[in-house]
A and B are shown apart, each in its own frame.
Chain A
């Protein structure tokens, strides 16, 4: 078993299920805001969308420890097995947190956990960008330029993810109103506007993740 290839495969699969699965989510969201469908149908599509959306969420988190392991195996990242194990453990726990948020959606615990997750993401973004800036100066912990660029691009995808979360919040509030009071022009407008505001961030994720993948594939020729 070639372990390096195994990690490359895992890294590739996280990208595949992240960007590929996002397609179904993106298209389904357009149908949820269609007022011609009954509330029941829209609710079911929202549930379907929510289920599929969990896959990109897990993959976004898993791609980092896997990528870090890859950087360790080719000696361009931190060379500490203990650190790698800790990072893997943290991200497995984070995936579990995201799973729990999905399970507890709508409850008080769910919104509390979602708040923790948001703070964790902000800390993670700051940490990644700081490490990248430090690496530009000190060439540590990330030892090559292409890896630094990849991680900056990855940070941009997380920023976009936070952007989606913020812009999508009015959508969920409007959907709750829809469930209580039925459809109205105001509610429909609110939902549509919220979705439209999220679109640039969704496209941003695709572009940044695509660029990161491109650099990963072409770094030997590009750098």
Chain B
């Protein structure tokens, strides 16, 4: 009993010490950029994959013929809002991942210039934001074109540029990192698939609002959603695999 009492006092003291070290170390955490980037990286996944489920389910309700036009317009509003998060996550995941790799000792050859990786992604954000907010206008088309161009450049960089760096040993890249780059390229391709298989949806939906529901319009909406489904599932699978590779860091 006495022994237990002493032990509990000792544990209490330890708890106080724990709180003290926690406060002391919290200051260190703020300067530990690696933890910052890691947390950021995880939250990107949260607001990409997690938010996507609302977008996906919402889109199934857009083609539900039982829903009135007003209901469908409100669902569009929900999807449009939530979809900002996967869109932004799509942009941020690459530069944040590069920052994480830099923290692991990668890209020491380029030094502080590594921060330049953010520049193209800031432009990409601008293009995507423009293509969403200016949708339907001629300026929106320009932004959409620039967005597509950016995606093509990134896919090319991932598959050609990174492969070159890996196989020519210009920069040391471990196998799992290369696999992550390739998976990122695959996800971008899926994004392309979503974009183009869904391109028929907006005109059909506009037609629905202007002329009311008809069998032909509903068929078009439904067909568009069916076409996009495999791409969405493939993208989710890619993200899960990307996470698994990041967690397990397999050695081939």
Contacts and interface: CB of A to CB of B under 8 A. Distances in A.
A and B: partners? Answer: yes
B50 A19 contact: yes
B108 interface: no
Interface stretch (A6-14, A105-113, A182-190, A191-199): A6-14
B77 interface: yes
A30 to B, nearest CB: 10
Contacts of B78: 24, 27-28, 31, 45, 48
B77 A52 contact: no
Nearest to B50: A20
Contact of B71 (A40, A55, A217): A40
Contacts of A15: 42, 46
Given A41-B74, A44-B61, A23 B47 contact: yes
Interface in A5-62: 5-6, 8-9, 12-13, 15-25, 27-28, 31, 37-38, 40-41, 44-45, 48, 51-52, 55
B42 A12 contact: yes
Interface stretch (B143-151, B199-207, B241-249): B241-249
Contact of B240 (A9, A19, A21, A38): A9
A208 B113 CA distance: 36
Contacts of A12: 42, 45, 243, 247
A48 B77 CA distance: 13
Contacts of A159: none
B244 A9 contact: yes
Interface string A114-128: 000000000000000
Contacts of B88: none
Given A38-B68, A222-B25, A55 B53 contact: yes
Contacts of B248: 2, 5
Interface residues of B, number: 48
Contacts of B81: 27
Nearest to A218: B35
Nearest to A20: B50
Contact of B51 (A23, A137, A214, A217): A23
B53 A222 contact: no
A139 B14 CA distance: 11
Nearest to B250: A2
B81 to A, nearest CB: 5
A45 B39 contact: no
A24 B53 contact: yes
A23 B82 contact: yes
Top-10 shortest CB links A-B: A20-B50, A24-B54, A5-B248, A41-B71, A218-B35, A16-B50, A20-B46, A44-B71, A5-B247, A2-B248
5 contacts: A2-B250, A5-B244, A9-B247, A137-B11, A218-B38
A137 B13 CA distance: 10
Given A44-B71, A45-B74, A16 B45 contact: yes
Given A9-B240, A137-B11, 7 more contacts: A19-B46, A24-B51, A24-B78, A41-B70, A45-B71, A51-B57, A55-B53
Interface of A: 2, 5-6, 8-9, 12-13, 15-25, 27-28, 31, 37-38, 40-41, 44-45, 48, 51-52, 55, 136-139, 145, 210, 213-214, 217-218, 221-223
A24 B46 contact: no
Given A9-B247, A24-B58, A217-B42, A18 B71 contact: no
Contact of A221 (B11, B29, B53, B58): B29
Given A9-B240, A31-B74, A37-B70, A218 B46 contact: no
A21 B35 contact: no
Contacts of A21: 50-51, 53-54
B127 to A, nearest CB: 24
B65 interface: no
Given A5-B244, A217-B39, A218-B39, A41 B68 contact: yes
B75 A38 contact: no
A17 to B, nearest CB: 5
Contacts of A217: 35, 38-39, 42
B29 A222 contact: yes
B233 interface: no
A33 to B, nearest CB: 12
Given A13-B240, A37-B74, A217-B42, A20 B53 contact: yes
Given A16-B45, A41-B74, A136 B11 contact: yes
